């Protein structure tokens, strides 16, 4: 199965014995800010459990699940397993829990947290993940317009243009396969 990701926030919800679980699936770039916002917005919540997965430059996957005061292994890891199961990458799930007065037990917590995460994922628009790469390309002035046209046709983004005495040096960004075709 190919890796998938999200480009904006999606929400999910689950209620179990009056405990409410508010799930937020966010791009990894928004994770820290969203965690801070949720802690401020939900001051009376008992826990904000998190899980994330990130693809590192060397191809390894960094991932974590944090229980935020829930019994060890009952919340962060089940949430992380949901992300792993649908092969989401470069995104995070944050789940705000309001305690409803009845203890759910270890299995109940694991089901509730993973269920809330699954609901957020079901509401999400998942897109195929593409690793972006950058490449520097040089061309003399005579060939620079041809190079720009090729970059445009491939759907790549020019990050910077540096003009030299002999031509132009471009820094281009885009999916790995398209960068290789350039």
Co-location of 13 and 99 in the same domain: yes
- Give the up-direction half-sphere exposure of residue 132: CA atoms within 13 A in the CB hemisphere: 11
- Domain extent, residue 162, equals 132-181
Q: What is the pTM for the complete model shown?
A: 0.72
pLDDT of residue 129: 82
Co-location of 112 and 147 in the same domain: no
pLDDT by 10-residue block (mean), the chain, 182 residues: 84 88 91 88 87 86 87 89 90 90 83 90 84 80 82 81 84 76 72
* pLDDT, tens only, 137-148: 888 887 888 888
pLDDT of residue 1: 59
Question: With contact defined as beta carbons under 8 Å apart, do 80 and 65 qualify?
Answer: yes
Distance CA 83, CA 77 (A): 10
Co-location of 86 and 175 in the same domain: no
Return the CATH number at 14. Answer: 3.30.230.30
**How many domains are contained in the chain?**
2
CA nearest to 123, candidates 13, 47, 46, 48? 13
* pLDDT, tens only, 34-50: 888 888 888 888 889 99
Co-location of 137 and 105 in the same domain: no
Distance CA 43, CA 88 (A): 29
Co-location of 80 and 170 in the same domain: no
Distance CA 177, CA 182 (A): 9
Co-location of 112 and 124 in the same domain: yes
Query: Quick one: DSSP state of residue 58?
Result: T
Co-location of 122 and 168 in the same domain: no
């Amino acid at each position: 199965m190919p890796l998938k990701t999200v480009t904006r926030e999606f929400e999910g919800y689950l209620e179990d014995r009056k405990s409410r679980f508010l799930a937020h699936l966010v791009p990894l770039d928004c994770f820290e800010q969203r965690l801070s916002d949720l802690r401020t917005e939900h001051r009376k919540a008992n826990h904000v459990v998190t899980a994330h997965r990130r693809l590192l430059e060397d191809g390894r996957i960094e991932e974590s699940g944090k229980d935020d005061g829930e019994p060890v292994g009952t919340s962060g890891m089940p949430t992380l397993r949901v992300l792993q199961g649908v092969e989401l990458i470069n995104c995070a799930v944050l789940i705000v829990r309001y305690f409803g007065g009845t203890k759910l037990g270890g299995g109940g917590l694991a089901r509730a947290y993973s269920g809330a995460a699954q609901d957020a994922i079901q509401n999400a628009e998942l897109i195929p993940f593409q690793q972006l790469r950058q490449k520097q390309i040089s061309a003399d002035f005579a060939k620079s317009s041809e190079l720009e046209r090729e970059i445009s046709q491939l759907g790549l983004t020019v990050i910077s243009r540096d003009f030299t005495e002999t031509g132009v040096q471009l820094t281009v960004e885009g999916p790995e396969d398209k960068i290789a075709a350039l």
